């Protein structure tokens, strides 16, 4: 039997790289320009975020509202305060904003000091990226598509059945069912995908409880994020729960990585990717933890660290050892 | 009178950026892929290096010999030891080598840890880049073309008249005389350009004597690098010498910058660019020294530092202040 997920699995000598929001460390996140330039450096998988406009168009952007740190209006002025909700704007309204750069002086900008700054970058339709993947040079590219959804904020997105149907419709129209992973922190979305498109592989994102979480924890007993997943039956073992749910991928936060759990997940047949791994130390630790794939804002840096370890990220790039 | 060099001059609020070898910090240097991706982020000027093959074809590469730290042969093996001389290879022979990445474990690779690694990048013909500049999106791009030449190693290059003629011929064929700067550490090359094409602006590169130079010093009395430039007449004042030579640009090493000399150069009508400025501290120091343009391996980083200072690098990007 052909393993069509082989390009996403770790093999001896190869750890996969997923460019996070294309390559947020160096290019404006989730823009078509960034996707193209990231494909061009030989990154085979890109991670991206989906939300929906008020007229039901899946678009590629991360935050439920336009972010003042990264959004200029049609006159070139920075948004102030809380921007409008993506799901309250038509695509035509949304397309007037420019997300080509980060605003100096903001905390968000300070986190990505090498990210290029340009004008004229719209939030793309998901379909625009799907269309780009038909280009001959990009026939081996995979998409790791995160569907943004929040159990306590249904106003941010369409009803889940409609939302999932819209994304699947684009994948099918462009023949991308064989090059797509669908992932979410909201596992209810993944249940809907399992019903509608059981053959498209699903990835279960997780962020464990901790003393000072920097975002919302999604995995714990009776969490609204995990839908009908039977937490207690598996004693909270995420690899076992994801496997039971029919997931092909488990995607834990990199600080939550435990090599024994990664090994268990792989024994269960899962592919383990981890997010979002940027510092050299963290990238090396993720490699050592045994993951299949690393989601990073700095794919060039991750390529180079793999090579320095005698590893690679794709079959046609040879591991290059430091000696000899 | 129209100042056709206006896009290269500092104006209140604007310091120009030149991508060094395109953007060596993040992409393989002097490759077509790197030039395209650097133009795409809104960098209006790229610096590049010219050498010549044995069959007289100007190519874009920096070192007189293929560098073992950055060159693989047709079988994908790294060159060992000293590679062949560019000027001893035909273009057909040269085009079999791959310069898409840096070799792990080398000193050179360690200097650019975020540079992407890919296969299949040839040393380009200069004419390939000239052709790219005809694309509508790249009509405002300028080239800062460094012609590599060494007074004590004539075997590295064609005779200067032939060499200069070959480069000029490509500029003229592609109508790029109005978007090109020609620069060299070997000012004899610039004298030849002054004779053959006096209207194409020339840039005089300089690296001053110092206790432990990391490359060859080119400016001192009776230096073979400065040709007929009258050193003693101007007491070694580089701005005055460059101005006397009819240069439009002076391009000192960034550690040699002296704000008073920069001011003098600008009073004399020169444009001052400085190379190669990469750390945030050095970039800010170069801005403060009053230069017109900064040549950097990290153009994204330099864009962001300018914005954080309330400055910009081009008229259609607004300075963005940290407050408000």
Residue A1 has pLDDT above 90, yes or no: no
Q: Taking a C-beta distance cutoff of 8 angstroms, is the pair B147, B183 a contact?
A: yes
Please report, in angstroms and rounded to a whole number, the separation of the first and last CA atoms in chain A. Answer: 39
Query: Inter-chain contact B307–A117, Cβ cutoff 8 Å?
Result: yes
Report the pLDDT value the prediction gives residue B320, as an integer from 0 to 100.
61
Query: Inter-chain contact B317–A119, Cβ cutoff 8 Å?
Result: yes
Contacts of B119 in chain A (CB under 8 A): 42, 316-317
Query: What is the distance between the alpha carbons of residues B202 and A283, in angstroms, rounded to a whole number?
Result: 45
Q: What angle do helix axes B280-289 and B259-267 make, rounded to 10 degrees?
A: 50
Minimum distance, in Å, between the CA of residue B237 and any CA atom of chain A: 36
Report CA-CA distances (Å) from B174 to B36, B135, B136, B183. Answer: 17, 11, 14, 19
Residue B308: CB partners within 8 Å, gap ≥ 6?
A: A104, A105, B322
Query: Inter-chain contact A114–B26, Cβ cutoff 8 Å?
Result: yes
User: What's the distance, CA B90 to chain centroid?
Assistant: 24
pLDDT tens, A72-83?
Answer: 999 999 999 999
Residue of chain A minimizing CA distance to B114: A301
User: Which bin fits A251, alpha (ψ -120 to 50), beta or left (φ > 0)?
Assistant: beta
Minimum distance, in Å, between the CA of residue A5 and any CA atom of chain B: 23
Residue B129's nearest CA partner among B223, B290, B21 is: B21
Residue A33 has pLDDT above 80, yes or no: yes
- The label of the residue with tokens 């990007």 reads B317
Query: Inter-chain contact B115–A300, Cβ cutoff 8 Å?
Result: yes
In percent, the amount of chain A with pLDDT more than 70 equals 98
Report the pLDDT value the prediction gives residue A227, as an integer from 0 to 100.
97
Query: Inter-chain contact B104–A307, Cβ cutoff 8 Å?
Result: yes
Give the largest CA-CA distance in chain A: 59
Strand partners, A46: A19, A143
Query: Inter-chain contact B316–A119, Cβ cutoff 8 Å?
Result: yes
Query: What is the distance between the alpha carbons of residues B46 and B68, in angstroms, rounded to a whole number?
Result: 25
Residue of chain A minimizing CA distance to B44: A118
**Chain B residues whose C-beta sits inside 8 Å of any chain A C-beta:** 25-27, 33, 37, 40-42, 76, 78, 101-105, 109, 113-119, 280, 298-301, 303-304, 307-308, 310, 316-318, 320-323
User: What's the distance, CA B162 to chain centroid?
Assistant: 21
Query: Inter-chain contact B104–A322, Cβ cutoff 8 Å?
Result: yes
Q: Taking a C-beta distance cutoff of 8 angstroms, is the pair B165, B58 a contact?
A: no
Work out the mean pLDDT of chain A and round it to a whole number: 96
Query: What is the distance between the alpha carbons of residues A270 and A272, in angstroms, rounded to a whole number?
Result: 6
ipTM confidence score? 0.96
Q: Taking a C-beta distance cutoff of 8 angstroms, is the pair A301, A25 a contact?
A: yes
Residue A293 has pLDDT above 70, yes or no: yes
Coil/strand/helix, residue A69: coil
| Kind of pairing between the strands at A293-296 and A271-274 | parallel
Coil/strand/helix, residue A148: coil
Strand partners, B78: B72
Structure token pair of residue A262: 């990664």
- The label of the residue with tokens 């840890």 reads B113
Q: Taking a C-beta distance cutoff of 8 angstroms, is the pair A233, A255 a contact?
A: no
Query: Inter-chain contact B117–A303, Cβ cutoff 8 Å?
Result: yes
Query: Inter-chain contact A114–B318, Cβ cutoff 8 Å?
Result: no
Instruction: Name the residue facing B320 among A26, A40, A104 (closest C-beta).
Output: A104
Query: Inter-chain contact A117–B300, Cβ cutoff 8 Å?
Result: yes
- Number of A/B CB contacts below 8 angstroms equals 109
Query: Which segments within B107-219 are labelled E, that is strand?
Result: 142-147, 180-184, 202-206
Q: Taking a C-beta distance cutoff of 8 angstroms, is the pair A280, A298 a contact?
A: no
Q: What is the DSSP letter of B155?
A: G
Q: What angle do helix axes A299-308 and A280-288 make, rounded to 10 degrees?
A: 60
pLDDT tens, A143-179?
Answer: 999 999 999 999 999 999 999 999 999 999 999 999 9
Report CA-CA distances (Å) from A68 to A10, B168, B174. Answer: 39, 48, 43
Per-residue confidence in pLDDT tens, chain B, 324 aa: 789 999 999 999 999 999 999 999 999 999 999 999 999 999 999 999 999 999 999 999 999 999 999 999 999 999 999 999 999 999 999 999 999 999 999 999 999 999 999 999 999 999 999 999 999 999 999 999 999 999 999 999 999 999 999 999 999 999 999 999 999 999 999 999 999 999 999 999 999 999 999 999 999 999 999 999 999 999 999 999 999 999 999 999 999 999 999 999 999 999 999 999 999 999 999 999 999 999 999 999 999 999 999 999 999 998 765 443
Contacts of B310 in chain A (CB under 8 A): 104
Q: Taking a C-beta distance cutoff of 8 angstroms, is the pair A255, A245 a contact?
A: no
Query: Inter-chain contact B317–A115, Cβ cutoff 8 Å?
Result: no
Query: What is the distance between the alpha carbons of residues B197 and B164, in angstroms, rounded to a whole number?
Result: 10
Residue A124: CB partners within 8 Å, gap ≥ 6?
A: A30, A31, A32, A59, A60
Report the pLDDT value the prediction gives residue B319, as an integer from 0 to 100.
72
Minimum distance, in Å, between the CA of residue B291 and any CA atom of chain A: 21
- Res. A320 pLDDT band, cuts 50 70 90: low
Query: What is the distance between the alpha carbons of residues A31 and A123, in angstroms, rounded to a whole number?
Result: 6
Query: What is the distance between the alpha carbons of residues A116 and B317, in angstroms, rounded to a whole number?
Result: 12
Compute how many other C-beta atoms are within 10 angstroms of the C-beta atom of residue B75.
Answer: 7
Q: Which of B304, B305, B318 to mutate to test the interface with A (most CBs of A within 10 A)?
A: B304
Report the pLDDT value the prediction gives residue B324, as an integer from 0 to 100.
39
Contacts of A75 in chain B (CB under 8 A): none
Q: Which residues of A50-59 are buried (b: 16+ CB within 10 A; e: fewer)?
A: bbbbeeebbb
Report the pLDDT value the prediction gives residue B31, as an integer from 0 to 100.
98
SS (H, E, C) A155-203: HHCCCHHHHHHHHHHHHHHCCCHHHEEEEECCHHHHHHHHHHCCCCCEE
Report the pLDDT value the prediction gives residue A322, as an integer from 0 to 100.
43
Query: Inter-chain contact B113–A41, Cβ cutoff 8 Å?
Result: no
- The label of the residue with tokens 């000091």 reads A113
Query: What is the distance between the alpha carbons of residues B182 and B72, in angstroms, rounded to a whole number?
Result: 30
Residue of chain A minimizing CA distance to B116: A300
């Amino acid at each position: 039997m052909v393993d069509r997920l082989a390009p996403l699995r770790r093999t001896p000598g190869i750890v996969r790289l997923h460019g996070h929001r294309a390559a947020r460390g160096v290019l404006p996140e989730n823009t078509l320009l960034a996707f193209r330039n990231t494909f061009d450096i030989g990154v085979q998988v890109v991670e991206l975020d989906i939300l929906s406009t008020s007229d039901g168009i899946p678009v590629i952007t991360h935050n439920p509202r336009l972010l003042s740190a990264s959004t200029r209006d049609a006159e070139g002025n920075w948004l102030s305060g809380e921007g409008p909700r993506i799901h309250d704007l038509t695509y035509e309204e949304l397309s007037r904003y420019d997300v080509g750069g980060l605003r100096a002086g903001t905390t968000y900008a300070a986190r990505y000091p090498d990210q290029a700054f340009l004008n004229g970058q719209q939030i793309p339709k998901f379909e625009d990226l799907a269309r780009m993947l038909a280009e001959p040079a990009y026939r081996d590219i995979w998409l790791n598509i995160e569907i943004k959804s929040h159990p306590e904020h249904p106003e941010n997105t369409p009803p889940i059945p409609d939302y999932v149907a819209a994304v699947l419709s684009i994948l099918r129209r462009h023949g991308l069912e064989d090059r797509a992973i669908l992932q979410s922190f909201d596992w209810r979305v993944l249940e809907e995908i399992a019903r509608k498109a059981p053959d498209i592989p699903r990835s279960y994102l997780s962020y464990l409880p901790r003393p000072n979480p920097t975002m919302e924890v999604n995995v714990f007993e009776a969490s609204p994020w995990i839908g009908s997943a039977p937490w207690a039956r598996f004693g909270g073992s995420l690899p076992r729960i994801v496997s039971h749910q029919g997931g092909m991928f488990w995607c834990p936060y990199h600080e939550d990585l435990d090599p024994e759990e990664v090994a268990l997940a792989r024994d269960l047949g899962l592919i383990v990717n981890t997010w979002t791994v940027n510092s050299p130390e963290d990238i090396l630790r993720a490699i050592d933890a045994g993951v299949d794939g690393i989601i990073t804002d700095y794919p060039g840096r991750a390529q180079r660290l793999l090579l320095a370890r005698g590893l690679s990220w794709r079959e046609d790039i040879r591991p290059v050892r430091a000696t000899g």
